[in-house]
A = this chain, B = another copy of it.
């Protein structure tokens, strides 16, 4: 079969991606591309060839995780309690972002750099929450003027602001809860 990716290219791609995951987990979104290349045992040019630009690498790194989140959203779209489903998903996202260093940064980046690409992580996520949000809104459990983009921006912001706290997951959950119920006291 002609015009297909060569076998070694595929292998290097996998190698690099594997190293990149560890490296990003360790050093955040601004991990050294050169270092990744060294550890993976390839030239730095090869990294740039497979992933043009840091954004592309980050996207690949978080791709499956993002998909997992999307799948989760799809799974709970038929839940009985629409509001609970939405909140649960947001909670999952927050917890996730807290454990996956650099993801929030990466999201914040690509969402404004190329807001049109369908494969962009932020777009996928948006499309994933949208049904959840709509159902919740229809059942009257969530305000009408809230958009999926709003929600993503909010949780991304929370993730960014808590990323280097002592206990990001706990802080994130706490802030998300505040955001959901509002700062005002329970009526």
The number of chain A residues with a CB under 8 A from chain B is 36
User: Interface majority SS on A: helix, strand, loop or mixed?
Assistant: helix
Using known A-B contacts A143-B184, A183-B142, A183-B143, determine if residue A175 contacts B161 with beta carbons closer than 8 Å.
no
Per the bound structure, the CA–CA distance linking A180 and B151 in Å amounts to: 14
Contact of A154 among B141, B161, B187 (CB under 8 A): B161
A146 interface residue per 8 A CB criterion: yes
Residues from chain B with a CB closer than 8 A to the CB of A174 are 150
Mind listing 17 A-B residue pairs with CB under 8 Å? Answer: A112-B166, A141-B184, A141-B185, A143-B181, A143-B185, A146-B183, A150-B174, A150-B178, A153-B161, A154-B178, A157-B158, A157-B160, A157-B175, A180-B183, A181-B182, A181-B184, A182-B183
**A interface with B by C-beta (< 8 Å):** 83, 108, 112, 140-144, 146, 150-151, 153-154, 156-162, 164-166, 171, 174-175, 178-187
